[in-house]
């Protein structure tokens, strides 16, 4: 059984657990989306909770690629949040990856990890049947698709040896960031972002040095976020910017594919192109499975998060804040 979303996990509970009626804490261990182990516990408080969580952690420590899910069942919101918070603290202390913390009650469910009311309202989602889930997902996807989704194909360019040499030489000759003050660095990042946006929107085919500069800008997380904010703001030029990103992705070195593919995915998802976004995120994670923004978008797509959440998240952060960063 392969689990790719909270809904699938909720519907798998009767199969995973023989009797959930007497359980108030359900713990599931996933390895690459497949249920590797699962346990149910009749109480979710006190010493029993400590014992249950300890077993949960021991399951996770046996494999570096595991993801852990805890489900509070049939208890109040306050009890669920308290129990799941305890589980989360224990798992974080152990350095294990918590995929989700879910609350299931009275035919409804919600993720305690998600605080977005549009995605996971406090009154939860109805536990619909697998058929209804499929219909709902198809309907949501139809609302976020366009001809771009159905027609999109992508192939990496088959570069000749001299082209690879010219490209790699351009990347090797990139200048280093100067050691400047924070204010000067902000000005430098802004200049780099503006140049990259200009090149992406105007150059049908970049010279290798321009390609190298653009890729290096996108590789800088603060500049990448600045580019995404610029793409968000410039709706009219967004198609040109997306085409530019697609062109450089085709010829970018492998160590720059994750950042470029993720940036393109983020740009396309602004307009709700879910299918093509998923393809690009898959490309990004194939190149670098640790790339954090790709993993974040992948999780959002798997959980059926509407693209408006992504739009609102970019709208909430000013361009200058993107260049400064969270740190």
Q: Is 23 part of a structural domain of the chain?
A: yes
Q: Both 175 and 153 in a single domain? A: yes
- For residues 221 and 324, the answer to whether their CB atoms sit within 8 Å is no
Assigned token pair, 203 = 């150059």
State percent of the chain over pLDDT 70. Answer: 66
Q: Which residues pair with 104 in a beta bridge?
A: 73, 109
Rounded distance between C-alpha atoms, residue 285 and residue 261, angstroms: 9
**CA-wise closest residue to 60 among 86, 23, 87, 25:** 87
Q: pLDDT by residue (tens digit) across 241-262?
A: 999 999 999 999 999 999 999 9
Given a cut of 80, whether residue 214 has pLDDT beyond it is: yes
Model pLDDT, residue 96: 66
The whole-model pTM stands at 0.57
- For residues 141 and 150, the answer to whether their CB atoms sit within 8 Å is no
Q: Both 159 and 268 in a single domain? A: yes
Q: Which domain holds residue 313?
A: 147-324
Given a cut of 50, whether residue 209 has pLDDT beyond it is: yes
In the listed set 94, 126, 142, which residue is the last one of a domain according to the structure? 142
The DSSP output letter for 254 is: G
- CA distances to 194, 203, 210 from 240, rounded to whole Å, are 15, 10, 17
Model pLDDT, residue 139: 43
Assigned token pair, 137 = 């997902």
Q: Both 189 and 309 in a single domain? A: yes
In the listed set 86, 121, 142, which residue is the last one of a domain according to the structure? 142
Mean pLDDT score of the chain, rounded to an integer? 77
Q: pLDDT by residue (tens digit) across 136-161?
A: 344 444 444 444 454 555 678 889 99
Model pLDDT, residue 316: 85
In the listed set 111, 126, 142, which residue is the last one of a domain according to the structure? 142
Q: Both 135 and 53 in a single domain? A: yes
3-state class of 210 per DSSP? helix
Model pLDDT, residue 220: 93
Q: Is 177 part of a structural domain of the chain?
A: yes
Top-confidence residue, 164 or 132? 164
* pLDDT-based confidence at residue 58 (cuts at 50, 70, 90): low
Kind and range of the H or E run holding 204: none
């Amino acid at each position: 059984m392969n689990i790719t979303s909270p809904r699938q996990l909720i519907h798998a509970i009767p199969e995973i657990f023989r009797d959930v009626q007497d359980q108030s804490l359900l713990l599931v261990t996933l390895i690459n989306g497949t249920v590797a182990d699962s346990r149910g516990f009749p109480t979710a408080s006190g010493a029993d909770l400590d014992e249950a969580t300890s077993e949960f952690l021991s399951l996770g420590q046996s494999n570096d690629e595991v993801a852990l899910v805890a489900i509070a069942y049939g208890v109040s919101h306050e009890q669920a949040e308290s129990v799941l918070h305890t589980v989360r603290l224990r798992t974080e202390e152990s350095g294990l990856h918590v995929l989700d913390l879910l609350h299931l009650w009275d035919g409804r469910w919600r993720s305690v990890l998600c605080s977005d009311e549009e995605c996971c309202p406090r009154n939860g989602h109805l536990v619909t049947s697998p058929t209804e889930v499929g219909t709902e997902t198809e309907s949501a996807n139809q609302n976020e698709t366009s001809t771009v989704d159905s027609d999109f194909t992508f192939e990496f360019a088959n570069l000749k040896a001299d082209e690879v040499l010219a490209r790699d030489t351009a990347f090797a000759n990139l200048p280093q960031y100067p050691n400047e003050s924070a204010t000067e660095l902000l000005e430098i990042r802004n200049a780099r972002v503006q140049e990259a946006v200009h090149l992406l929107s105007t150059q049908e085919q970049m010279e290798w040095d321009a390609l190298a500069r653009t890729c290096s800008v996108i590789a800088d997380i603060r500049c990448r976020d600045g580019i995404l904010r610029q793409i968000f703001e410039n709706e009219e030029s967004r198609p040109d910017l997306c085409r530019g990103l697609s062109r450089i992705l085709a010829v970018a070195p492998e160590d720059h594919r994750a950042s470029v593919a993720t940036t393109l995915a983020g740009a396309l998802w602004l307009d709700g192109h879910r299918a093509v976004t998923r393809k690009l995120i898959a490309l990004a994670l194939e190149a670098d499975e640790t790339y954090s923004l790709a993993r974040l978008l992948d999780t959002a797509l798997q959980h059926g998060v509407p693209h408006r959440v992504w739009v609102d998240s970019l709208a909430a952060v000013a361009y200058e804040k993107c260049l400064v960063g969270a740190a």
